[in-house]
Structure 1
């Protein structure tokens, strides 16, 4: 059993502070990146998610419709449903949120990328995440739990994008 444990833990965590990954100031991602709490794969995954959000957004929200006149010849007057197309970034995010993440991971994803990154929450959210998701009451323990939850989420996102 000890040999298995050593093999599992043989890869030591190496934090990355590479300047190529630039996150908005004051966000959790920027904070974790600046203190080296995320590795390169986790940073790359966060960067891909943000790039997909940027590509999927816009005036139409990434959805375009084909509009055309239709002559309905059926006696009931039924109409065929409108067709909508989304771009590939929107589709990747939809699959990630709807099929790949658990409900708790989805909650953390929304808090990390939407509420914190785009809506600019104030305050230190790491202890709150550790307290809500792991039940730790002390600030240091809750902060550590929050960091580990974010690392686990980004590992999962990195595996998803690695399969794409």
Structure 2
């Protein structure tokens, strides 16, 4: 892991932390998105009883490298992620993949982050930069993945990440 972040209020960027604590069934302790039911404001407006499939947000540092090379000036935590990884193909993981973060925490991947217009308020043009298109016209969402916490524990930069894939057939990630 490269960095960890969390913030109690609903805001786009999250300050870096020395460590965060994941709580089973809830998410990142003290984070605005922590809870059994959905916390994202637009989703709460539709149905506040929806299960929270977005308890932990992970982004790959390679995305920040790509965005910075394109002139966006984005640092760890600024895209609202809780966990920043490097060397792990997050977007290539299937639904149900499990990530052991550090010695204790276990996160199950639920889907792709669906970036909203707030991202352009942070850096104009960033929404287009984190959305691509396949040759067949399908949208490619590059702004990270979401997961739920199965087992809690402390997570810190430098901690290892171990991946366990679900049984075949694998289901590709979709937006959650």
TM band (smaller chain):
under 0.3
Greater relative CO, 1 or 2 (CA 8 Å, sep 6+)? 2
Structure number with bigger Rg: 1
- TM-score normalised by structure 2 residue count: 0.23
- TM-score normalised by structure 1 residue count: 0.24
Q: Name the structure where strand makes up a greater proportion of residues.
A: 2
Q: Name the structure where helix makes up a greater proportion of residues.
A: 1
